[in-house]
Amino acid sequence: MSDPRLCLEALSALSGCSVEATTGASLLTPQDFVNIVALKEFYKQEGLKELEYPSLGTLSLHDIDGQDLYSSPPALTEGPSTAGPDSSLRTTLKINPKDFFHPRYDYDFTNIEDGDTTFLRGNEPYVRPCGWNRVALQVKGRYDGGDGWLGTGKDAWPVSYNGHNMDGSLGIILTRRDTSADQPEFLDAAAACLVTKETRGRGVYSTPDINIAEEYCKTFTSEVDGRKYKVVLQNRINPEKRVKCQREDIWLVYVPEGCNDVQTRTIVQESIRPYGLLLMKERRYDQKHFFKVTRKIPST
């Protein structure tokens, strides 16, 4: 398993909270964690500023990107009289690494290249996270109905990835890679988007393509080794709860208008289950990758 301290930093970066280790019971499960990450993005999309989560209280949705997760907020260093809203942004979450992570199922894809090899999960293409190191989460035996959703058989769920800021700006109808062809049909679909609630893209987004998730991933600089890392959640998604968007590489768990917090959280729990924390270390290049050294061979 990767350094547990590094994993806690990654969880902190994803959640916007301060995740710390405890030898006691964890305050949250891996499912709670993906709920928090997904719902923070959803409620930000809805224009809200706070998320109420059971047992944790109020979590701020304030965007703190770019701030050092481990330094005091700027306002605090200027004295109590100027303390601003940043002083209480990070809720502290306590987890026990022994019951949160599952090292037996860790898998390092860092130096793996799949090429044209095809993998399936839930009878759908599985784009493996090549280039990433996966830290497995403790999810076996945690759900009713067994672990078939986590396997490779007919009951398995497809794989999806949660990046950062994957929200309604991706759209269902209005986001399209190429609108030059069949333009009238596209305009009809766009018009339908304005009047049909189900096509507005209200809900929780993920992607089956790790390369898309990387575009939206969270980054952080670790205090463990001073290196910069990217972090993404690897999940399984319930195929009966998922909506495929106009972009084939974007999936949506739709949350209908009028759902309260409990109903929204239930939809997420029934639709997305996490099983891996993905980490990618920033690449450093040695001069030997850029310069070819030649040696003159003496003539004989």
Task: Write the pLDDT tens digit of every residue in 63-77.
Answer: 554 443 333 333 333
- Rounded to whole angstroms, the Cα distance separating 217 from 41 reads 13
Q: Domain range spanning residue 252?
A: 4-282
Residue 5 has pLDDT above 50, yes or no: yes
**Percentage above 70 pLDDT, the chain:** 73
Q: Is residue 90 part of a domain?
A: yes
Q: Is residue 292 part of a domain?
A: no
Average pLDDT, the chain: 79
- Rounded to whole angstroms, the Cα distance separating 231 from 129 reads 12
Q: What 8-state DSSP symbol labels residue 267?
A: H
Tally the domains of the chain. Answer: 1
Q: What share of the chain is helix, strand, coil (3-state, %, to 5)?
A: 30, 25, 50
Report how far Cα 143 is from the mean position of its chain's Cα atoms: 21
Q: Is residue 297 part of a domain?
A: no
Do the beta carbons of residue 199 and residue 192 sit within 8 Å? yes
Q: Is residue 298 part of a domain?
A: no
Q: Is residue 98 part of a domain?
A: yes
Model confidence at 250, pLDDT cuts 50, 70, 90, reads confident
Task: Write the pLDDT tens digit of every residue in 155-207.
Answer: 999 999 997 767 655 554 333 333 344 444 444 444 444 444 444 578 899 99
Task: Write the pLDDT tens digit of every residue in 190-201.
Answer: 444 444 444 457
Q: Is residue 55 part of a domain?
A: yes
**Percentage above 90 pLDDT, the chain:** 50
The bridge status of strand 92-95 relative to strand 18-21 is parallel
Q: Is residue 287 part of a domain?
A: no
